[in-house]
Structure 1
């Protein structure tokens, strides 16, 4: 996948650019009342998935990819001519590109000890993005234009600049290794190795 979350895919015989930056992920979540991760899971798992949601994923992906809202809506109006399976496949790839970033640069995992409870249906707390952007003096419009990968890289760079001697966050494999060492046994107590 790409750092920008951009993906070019054929749609009805024409290659189109799709992208779901933070602002379009937020608009998609508001329109469907479901987070992007749940959309991706449902499409990938083959669960029952409505045409409206597929259409909205693609509509917001086209807008994020550079089409004006008017152009994107006009194109989406013709989606009923396209095979639903094709539309679902494209929507799956658009969501994956937005959520995965790139494999060759692992970003630090977000801290899970902030006390915030998870939102239902895989929704994202966009207020956290705007709060972090304000703390870094990043204009909201710039934050909304970034992919999730770009925003995470920006935050990591800012944190290194502010506290260059600070501890590096755990990588995913380091966190997994720690959990493997202290995972609870059958009665809930930590296992010592």
Structure 2
């Protein structure tokens, strides 16, 4: 069960709903991985559409790991996201919104 009050969102992968959540540890790892200057810069990269496919993969990996899946970026990159790349990007957008605003 998805709990939006914990910053959780759902993502469809291969027709199955999976949980994503950005824990503080995953946010710190994501900041370092993407070499951004803080959480605001991280959010702005995605809000302005200035992200690359590798950024999206890193964000989805962090969210899935925070949701309890033990995955690496190569595994996430090979996944069949419901809605394709657009579906993955929309889920990532919901994840960021839930993490920084407490809503889905």
Length-normalised TM-score, structure 1: 0.44
Once the two structures are superposed, residues 132-176 of structure 1 have per-residue CA deviations (whole angstroms, 9 ceiling, x without a partner) of: xxxxxxxxxxxxxxxxxxxxxxxxxxxxxxxxxxxxxxxxxxxxx
Once the two structures are superposed, residues 15-44 of structure 1 have per-residue CA deviations (whole angstroms, 9 ceiling, x without a partner) of: 110000100000100100124433333333
- Is 1:39 the counterpart of 2:52? The answer is no
Aligned residues of 2:57 and 2:77 also touching (Cα < 8 A): no
C-alpha separation in 2, matches of 1:97 and 1:78: 25
Aligned residues of 2:8 and 2:19 also touching (Cα < 8 A): yes
Residue equivalent to 2:17: 15
| 1:11, distance to aligned residue in structure 2 (A) | 3.0
Aligned residues of 1:40 and 1:92 also touching (Cα < 8 A): no
What RMSD, in angstroms, separates the aligned Cα atoms of the two structures?
2.4
| Structure with more strand by fraction | 2
- Is 1:53 the counterpart of 2:55? The answer is yes
Aligned residues of 2:9 and 2:91 also touching (Cα < 8 A): no
The structure that has the greater radius of gyration is: 1
Structure 1: state its 5+ residue gaps.
103-193
Length-normalised TM-score, structure 2: 0.76
SS in 1 for 2:5: coil
C-alpha separation in 1, matches of 2:12 and 2:56: 16
Aligned residues of 1:43 and 1:88 also touching (Cα < 8 A): no
Higher relative contact order, structure no. (Cα contacts within 8 Å, ≥ 6 residues apart) = 2
Structure 2: state its 5+ residue gaps.
none
Aligned length: 98
| 1:96, distance to aligned residue in structure 2 (A) | 1.2
